[in-house]
């Protein structure tokens, strides 16, 4: 297995708000850093609610994973960082509507804040290359 680390940020995803790439890949292993529910064409949050932000994050994950030969079916673990745990059920409903029967390991925690202003949550993940 190659130990070369490849970094990337697909052009059709939100721009990083700091000095990082969205994706790091080593061999078949992929990590995607914290992602907010941002519309990549406007740079603004997709909506003010947890449902729209959750769905946008998962849509962005699909784009990012496809850019490195993977998809949501190859996700190993997801971290969810939420500003208010009262949104947990609504986030779960949106998450399940997109993930379907796929149930990778997941951690959800409440945090005081996230870097993207007005974002209600961010997520990051670990996956493997498809095939």
pLDDT tens-digit series, residues 50-87: 999 999 999 999 999 999 999 999 999 999 999 999 99
CA dist 78 → 4, 48, 98, 99 (Å): 23, 22, 14, 11
More confident residue, 75 or 17: 75
- The neighbouring-strand residues paired with 126 are 31, 77
pTM: 0.95
d(CA 54, CA 97): 10
């Amino acid at each position: 297995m190659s130990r070369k680390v490849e970094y990337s940020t697909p052009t059709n995803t939100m721009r990083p708000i700091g000095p990082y790439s969205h994706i790091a890949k080593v061999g078949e292993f992929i990590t995607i850093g914290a992602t907010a529910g941002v519309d990549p064409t406007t740079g603004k949050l997709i909506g003010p609610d947890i449902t729209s932000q959750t769905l946008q994050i998962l849509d962005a994950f699909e784009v990012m994973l496809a850019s490195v030969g993977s998809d949501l079916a190859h996700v190993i673990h997801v971290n969810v960082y939420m500003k208010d745990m009262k949104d947990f059920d609504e986030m779960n409903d949106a998450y399940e509507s997109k993930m379907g029967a796929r149930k990778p390991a997941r951690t959800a925690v409440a945090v005081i804040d996230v870097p993207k202003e007005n974002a209600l949550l961010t997520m990051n993940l670990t996956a493997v290359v498809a095939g």
